[in-house]
């Protein structure tokens, strides 16, 4: 029996099973996404009770404070998800401890960077006290 190599035209229509996403790639991505959302939600839940009150005192109006609260939620959530998605381990054969650890670390770095960035932005717009 002689093996015949596929022509390029045939390969385009019938890709070999070695190529393409691994069976667990979508599950790994969804796990990393869930970790990113969890890592972003925890500090926001802790800050929620105090953030609106403090920002209302500092900004002067409820509308301004609401803007900064929503802005904080969007930026922190977005950065956490972005950092997790940029370094995804979709090539791994399964969800391992390393995949979970890297997803948690990247999400945590994204969340902390976003909180620091938002803090500096809010600080720029606050009136100075003399």
pLDDT per position as a tens digit, 63-74: 888 888 899 899
Q: What is the pLDDT of residue 6?
A: 55
Q: What is the pLDDT of residue 116?
A: 93
Q: What is the pLDDT of residue 12?
A: 54
Print pLDDT tens along the chain (130 aa). 555 555 555 555 555 555 555 547 778 888 888 988 999 999 889 988 888 888 888 888 888 888 888 998 999 989 988 888 887 666 666 777 887 888 888 899 999 999 999 888 888 877 676 6
Q: Which of 107, 103, 105 is nearest to 28 (CA)?
A: 103
Q: What is the pLDDT of residue 86?
A: 82
Q: What is the pLDDT of residue 3?
A: 56
Q: Which of 67, 86, 65, 72 is nearest to 40 (CA)?
A: 72
Token pair in block for residue 85: 């998605």
Q: Which residues contact 12 (CB under 8 A, 6 or more apart)?
A: none
Q: What is the pLDDT of residue 47?
A: 86
Token pair in block for residue 117: 């960035």
């Amino acid at each position: 029996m002689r093996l015949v190599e596929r022509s390029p035209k045939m390969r385009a229509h019938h890709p070999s099973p070695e190529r393409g996403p691994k069976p667990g790639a979508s599950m790994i991505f969804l796990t990393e996404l869930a970790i990113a959302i969890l890592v972003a939600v925890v500090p926001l839940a802790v800050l929620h009770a105090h953030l609106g009150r403090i920002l209302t005192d500092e900004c002067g109006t409820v509308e301004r404070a609401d803007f900064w609260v929503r802005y904080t939620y969007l930026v922190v959530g977005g950065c956490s998800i972005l950092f997790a998605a940029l370094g995804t381990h979709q090539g791994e054969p399964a969800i391992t401890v390393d995949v979970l650890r890297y997803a948690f670390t990247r999400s945590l770095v994204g969340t902390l960077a976003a909180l620091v960035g938002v803090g500096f932005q809010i600080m720029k717009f606050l009136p100075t006290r003399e």
